[in-house]
A and B are shown apart, each in its own frame.
Chain A
């Protein structure tokens, strides 16, 4: 466990020293600032516009970091051969993999919290108060973080057996497909054969359901979010990440490094 934390700590340090990360965070703050301006010119619905734009910025920037850095976590170490000296230490490959995952998740958490703080600062600037109802925005931010965890796990899995470019495409593709899982489940596929209907039903449960994390509308309009959804999304993320990272660890543990 402690070895895993050593890797996680170094991954976090790498991300902090990576200037690309700062640029992305700066971009996010810029988007939040623009939300303030757009909010001010939107009569009576400034909170709705600001929260929607702010959460979108947090989600988009988080996704970019999760996909690109998630894919690079392992593949960069293999390409640059920094892994050779690390694996010569008393460290198992799965510990390295999970350490990398934990390090990036902490990085994403710090960034998401920083950007959320920016969003709340912007809300306070416009409304001169933070109401209790705004807590729902925090839930939305939490869901974004859960979603990012799952994206990182998928990016790491793909990077264990394919090229970085393909891993980015696969992760991005799966994310987009995962946004429409609910639609896939509710589709009336009566014109298809029973086998195909079964196939689509299975696919709709195997695909990661990213739609479940999207509560931006509720957050923007100050509608409450059911506690069960918070529990469900948390457990779903833990279970899905465990399966994906388990598969990644099995593949990575048997991989010949160059």
Chain B
């Protein structure tokens, strides 16, 4: 697996797939039994390289006897900044993650979402070239998630490389240039979110409305389902014009015709489904 400079790369997979393990290996928190990895052209065992790397651990936890200002100041010291620059960077980061009014509160009083924000602040405090975020949206409310998405996009616009793990697929589809899907400890696919699932349409979706008292032909009625004030029906691409003719003849008002493409979620679910089926088969054969 390779992450290109300047891209946002999403590591996707269900719980227990190996996303955090991969990230921990990169950060030297655990060690590989075999194989190797490099970041910024250097082996991961080179700690000096951490100057250019920012890392947000999964469900981060910090010294709860410190305030957010103190903990960020503590981390900033490792990068050799003077007191004035530390103070400036800490305030800037607190503002960026929306904690400027909570900076002097001890972390023991912080919620999970607030700790996540502190984690994000310490990860980008030193302006790293590569930012690694382990489940950055975890524990955040919709507003917080939106803010984190904005921060990731802002980092991208300044040329940073971002690697993040998630199991929230819409986030990955929205943010990532490329994704890698991990399941069962194996990398199952790498590519742009669209490319990885294939761009070929799997069918067409028609939305239409009927005026009072109108009757649909039997074949169309069987394929359509009620959806709000109107109806929805899915047809194959080759059957589209036939279906539209039928609807027009019945006097239906067609409101939308869209191509149906598989989403990352479909791909993901298919993989997970295969894995579970495989796991179940192994379990049965073991018995």
Binding site for B on A (CB under 8 A): 2-3, 6, 10, 13-14, 17-18, 80-92, 254, 256-257
Question: Is residue B113 within 8 Å, beta carbon to beta carbon, of the partner chain?
Answer: no
Output the nearest chain A residue to B60 by Cβ-Cβ distance. Answer: A85
5 tightest CB-CB pairs across the interface, nearest first?
A88-B55, A89-B78, A84-B57, A256-B30, A17-B65
* 11 A-B pairs whose Cβ atoms sit less than 8 Å apart in the complex: A2-B80, A3-B78, A10-B63, A13-B66, A83-B29, A85-B122, A87-B28, A88-B57, A91-B50, A91-B78, A257-B30
| Contact of A81 with B57 in the complex, beta carbons under 8 Å | yes
A80: which B residues are within 8 A, CB to CB? 61
| Contact of B50 with A82 in the complex, beta carbons under 8 Å | no
- Give B50-70 as 1s and 0s: 1 = Cβ < 8 Å from A's Cβ atoms: 110111110111110110000
Residue among A82, A83, A84, A91 with most chain B CB within 10 A: A84
Residue among B31, B56, B63 with most chain A CB within 10 A: B63
| Contact of A82 with B62 in the complex, beta carbons under 8 Å | yes
B57: which A residues are within 8 A, CB to CB? 81, 84-85, 88
| Contact of A256 with B48 in the complex, beta carbons under 8 Å | no
| Contact of B51 with A90 in the complex, beta carbons under 8 Å | yes
| Contact of A85 with B119 in the complex, beta carbons under 8 Å | yes
Cα–Cα distance between A91 and B75 once the two chains are bound (Å)? 11
What is the interface of chain A mostly: helix, strand, loop, or mixed? helix
| Contact of A85 with B62 in the complex, beta carbons under 8 Å | yes
Number of interface residues of B (CB under 8 A): 32
Q: B46 → chain A, closest Cβ, in Å? A: 10
Q: A61 → chain B, closest Cβ, in Å? A: 21
Q: A97 → chain B, closest Cβ, in Å? A: 14
Contact of A89 among B50, B60, B62 (CB under 8 A): B50
| Contact of B65 with A14 in the complex, beta carbons under 8 Å | yes
A81: which B residues are within 8 A, CB to CB? 57, 59-61
| Contact of B29 with A84 in the complex, beta carbons under 8 Å | yes
Cα–Cα distance between A256 and B25 once the two chains are bound (Å)? 10
| Contact of A89 with B79 in the complex, beta carbons under 8 Å | yes
| Contact of B75 with A85 in the complex, beta carbons under 8 Å | yes
Q: A31 → chain B, closest Cβ, in Å? A: 27
Question: Is residue B179 within 8 Å, beta carbon to beta carbon, of the partner chain?
Answer: no
Q: A58 → chain B, closest Cβ, in Å? A: 26
B75: which A residues are within 8 A, CB to CB? 85-86, 89
Cα–Cα distance between A162 and B78 once the two chains are bound (Å)? 29
Q: A124 → chain B, closest Cβ, in Å? A: 36
Binding site for A on B (CB under 8 A): 24, 27-31, 47-51, 53-57, 59-63, 65-66, 74-75, 77-80, 119, 122-123
Residue among A83, A85, A256 with most chain B CB within 10 A: A85
A92: which B residues are within 8 A, CB to CB? 47
Cα–Cα distance between A88 and B74 once the two chains are bound (Å)? 13
| A90-B62 in contact given A85-B57, A256-B31 (Cβ < 8 Å) | no
A83: which B residues are within 8 A, CB to CB? 29
Q: B275 → chain A, closest Cβ, in Å? A: 24
A17: which B residues are within 8 A, CB to CB? 65
Cα–Cα distance between A82 and B60 once the two chains are bound (Å)? 7
Cα–Cα distance between A18 and B119 once the two chains are bound (Å)? 23
Q: A85 → chain B, closest Cβ, in Å? A: 6
Cα–Cα distance between A105 and B80 once the two chains are bound (Å)? 24
Contact of B78 among A6, A18, A84 (CB under 8 A): A6
| A88-B50 in contact given A6-B77, A256-B30 (Cβ < 8 Å) | yes
Cα–Cα distance between A81 and B61 once the two chains are bound (Å)? 6
Contact of B29 among A6, A10, A87 (CB under 8 A): A87
Residue among B27, B29, B122, B123 with most chain A CB within 10 A: B29
A2: which B residues are within 8 A, CB to CB? 80
| Contact of A90 with B77 in the complex, beta carbons under 8 Å | no
Contact of A6 among B47, B51, B74 (CB under 8 A): B74
Output the nearest chain A residue to B62 by Cβ-Cβ distance. Answer: A82
| Contact of B48 with A88 in the complex, beta carbons under 8 Å | no
B66: which A residues are within 8 A, CB to CB? 13
Output the nearest chain A residue to B46 by Cβ-Cβ distance. Answer: A90
| Contact of A90 with B65 in the complex, beta carbons under 8 Å | no
B30: which A residues are within 8 A, CB to CB? 256-257
| Contact of A82 with B61 in the complex, beta carbons under 8 Å | yes
Cα–Cα distance between A14 and B74 once the two chains are bound (Å)? 12
Output the nearest chain A residue to B47 by Cβ-Cβ distance. Answer: A92
Residue among A14, A18, A86, A91 with most chain B CB within 10 A: A86
| Contact of B31 with A254 in the complex, beta carbons under 8 Å | yes
Cα–Cα distance between A135 and B78 once the two chains are bound (Å)? 41
| Contact of B27 with A88 in the complex, beta carbons under 8 Å | yes
Cα–Cα distance between A13 and B62 once the two chains are bound (Å)? 14
| Contact of B78 with A14 in the complex, beta carbons under 8 Å | no
| Contact of B27 with A87 in the complex, beta carbons under 8 Å | yes
| Contact of B74 with A90 in the complex, beta carbons under 8 Å | no
